[in-house]
Chains A and B, each alone.
Chain A
Amino acid sequence: MIYNWYNIFNFLEFQDTGLVSRNLTVALADVGVVEIMITQANLVSILYDGVFLPVELEGMNPYKKDGYAVYKDANNDVWLGIEVVE
């Protein structure tokens, strides 16, 4: 599956803040202005469009669900993926 990936935040920097959650308002190219919530419990996760995307859940990287995906790269940057529908 092919996704459009957007670099949302850095995993380690967010962990260092010690925050339980953070709301981001960002503009995604070709999508528009969206709200993304980053949460930290047992796992760091992204909540986007009602879909909960835990980073590296059970070792899955990227983790995919309902047309969206989350991926952590070698630099610990977390990417949100939106499936490209052809």
Chain B
Amino acid sequence: MLNGIAPILIFTFPLYPKSPAFNALSDVPMLRDFLDSTLSVAPIPIYLDERTTDIYVESETKAIDIETNVQPRFDGKKPIVDQRGLNSLVTINLLAKRDSILLAALLAMIDIIFSKVVSQEYKVSYLNGTTTVFNGLLHGFSTSNGIDDDLLRITLQLSKANQEGTTPANVIHTLPKITGAVPVVAG
């Protein structure tokens, strides 16, 4: 197992600011990776182990959404099919003891991420056996208290939508206008 003894959540926050200069470097893969690795706060791991951290993975699900556009043809030939990846979500259901210190740290991490959602100056990784999310985004988070026990039920959703190659760039061409009773093109 990549994670070792127990499932693990890893939070990473970069030190460098999002600015036009740094954004211009995002197309240079090795330089961007170098900045990501050297100019980040040390990754913050939280093990999800009921014996050591009082946080336990109850269940997890994985879902992929793909948009499929089918354009049929008159002559019965194979239709033109366009596909693009909408989202790849891992949903993790956790149980935690309310007085767990690591639970407080987890909730604090989520609050920090919420303030960085627009800038996306954060990354979340999750490793649990065959289920892995590397440098993903937070898609959803909710908690609920039980009345009859001292447990907190947590639902955490991580998205891999920021991975390369799932969605084509949205290029919208601007068409110029010609004014008149009918369009007359010069030449």
Contacts and interface: CB of A to CB of B under 8 A. Distances in A.
A50 to B, nearest CB: 20
Contacts of A26: 172-175
Contact of B179 (A5, A18, A75): A5
Interface in A1-59: 1-8, 17-22, 25-30, 33, 40
B180 A20 contact: no
Interface string B166-187: 0000001111111111110100
A7 B179 CA distance: 12
A30 B177 contact: yes
A47 to B, nearest CB: 15
B172 A5 contact: no
B74 interface: yes
Contacts of A21: 71
B72 interface: yes
A25 B172 contact: yes
Contact of B71 (A1, A3, A19): A19
Contacts of B71: 19-22
A71 interface: yes
Contacts of A71: 182-183
A71 B75 CA distance: 26
A27 B174 contact: yes
Contact of A73 (B173, B180, B185): B185
Nearest to B175: A6
A30 B182 CA distance: 18
B77 interface: yes
A8 B173 CA distance: 11
B182 A62 contact: yes
A3 B175 contact: no
A68 interface: no
B88 to A, nearest CB: 25
Given A6-B175, A19-B72, 9 more contacts: A3-B180, A4-B179, A5-B177, A6-B176, A17-B80, A22-B71, A29-B177, A81-B183, A84-B179
> Which 4 A-B pairs have CB atoms at the shortest separation, nearest pair first?
A5-B183, A18-B73, A27-B174, A4-B177
Interface of A: 1-8, 17-22, 25-30, 33, 40, 62, 71, 73, 75, 79, 81, 84
23 contacts: A1-B181, A2-B180, A5-B178, A5-B180, A6-B177, A18-B73, A18-B74, A19-B73, A20-B72, A22-B71, A25-B172, A26-B174, A27-B175, A28-B174, A28-B175, A29-B176, A30-B177, A33-B172, A71-B182, A71-B183, A73-B182, A73-B185, A84-B179
